[in-house]
Amino acid sequence: MTAPAYRGLTWDHPRGYRALESAAARIDPARDGFALSWDRHSLEGFEERPIAEQCGLYDLVVLDHPHVGEAIAADCLIPLEELFTAEEIANWGAKVMGRSLSSYRYAGRHWALPLDAATQVMAWRRESMERPPTTWDDVADLAEQGGVVLSLSGPHAALSFQSICAALGANPAADGQIFVERAAGREAWALLSRLAAHSPKGLGGLNPIGILEHMSRHEDVVLCPLVYGYVNYAPGGVLGFADAPRARAGGPVGSILGGTGIGVSKRCAVTPGLLNHLRWLMSPEAQGGFIPEHDGQPSLKSAWRDAEVNARWGGFYADTFATLEGASLRPRHDGAIAFQTAASERLRQGLEAGDDADVVLNHLQALFVRLRPNGAET
């Protein structure tokens, strides 16, 4: 009998593919009873490509938590509860960073294994300043001197806005009815507008990878206050990473959770060997050793706290630990991806036009209501 040959889809950055491909290369079909290969697509495809389309072509799909409502509506993923024991799932939940597992829990079940943990953090050029700012007021003051860039391309305008709201103590979409409290929204808009006025216009189209690439190679940008953290840019001492800014000293760290999970599509004929491979990817051995050694960004707290891992990767994990532990979730209903796309475009338009806060907030609320089914979870 021929061993099944599974296909997976991940995203085209070393953090997204190298550990998965290297782990798959260790599989021996004669010994393990299956083969596995991984294809790649762009970061934009990862963020925006319909999950049902991916699951129709692949057995394993790397996804982000805002896709789960869409996946449930399309009935294209197998819940973890049908693949692993309740004890295994609870054990992962207790050991991963922050909400990395619970972000994939929706409609009473979990829909992906949290392989990779990430959130928006601060990136700065070490040679340009002794230490980075810690509050949004300090960031804004620095921006007026030049060299501070915002991450606003694709969905990141909405994500940056939501992170500032969270730092102000207002977690967007927390009750599922109101996108953001009006007072916090106005304050966040004022800050975002102030920062955008000084952000280099020529870099506005860069995604987080592009921003970090630019910062690592050029001296004109010294700080990005909110950008999804990539450990790959930490070694070498050029870039440092720090916790996201706070609205005030001692206040909450505002950040919107990212990271990736592995979902199992309904087209997949699951075997014990495949499940054991997924278990190994989530093990302390793989998370603290194999994954970091192959450019991955683990999800287990034990790896983020490991002194040797931090020493190898420029202190990235220790320096951003608090932000990831406290990161907020995005809406996950069917329509969440369309909402963050439309909201980001509206925010960029408003920043360009100098729109009043209430005009923008009214539009965002209308989009949130229109693109969210009644009674859906967030």
Q: What are the DSSP calls for 235-298, one per residue?
A: TTSSEEEEPPPBSSTTSPBP-BB--EEEEEETT----HHHHHHHHHHTSHHIIIIIHHHTT---
The residues pairing with 120 across neighbouring beta strands, listed in sequence order, are 228
Tokens coding 121: 């953090």
Residue scoring higher pLDDT (373 or 92): 92
CA neighbor of 78 nearest in space, from 260, 257, 262: 262
Q: Distance between CA atoms of 122 and 156, rounded to whole angstroms?
A: 14
Average pLDDT, the chain: 95
Burial class of residue 302 in the structure, from the number of CB atoms within 10 Å of its CB (0-12 exposed, 13-18 middle, 19+ buried): middle
Output DSSP code: residue 175: T
Q: What is the CATH number of domain 120-256+333-370?
A: 3.40.190.10
Residue scoring higher pLDDT (112 or 47): 112
Q: Distance between CA atoms of 147 and 128, rounded to whole angstroms?
A: 10
CA neighbor of 339 nearest in space, from 112, 180, 135: 180
Q: Given this structure, which CATH class describes domain 5-118+258-320?
A: alpha beta
Q: Where are the domains of the chain?
A: 5-118+258-320, 120-256+333-370
Tell me if 5-118+258-320 shares its fold with 120-256+333-370: yes
Q: Count of H helices and E strands in the chain?
A: 18, 11
The per-residue pLDDT for range 310-365, each reduced to its tens digit, is 999 999 999 999 999 999 999 999 999 999 999 999 999 999 999 999 999 999 99
- Of all residues in the chain, the percent with pLDDT exceeding 90 is 92
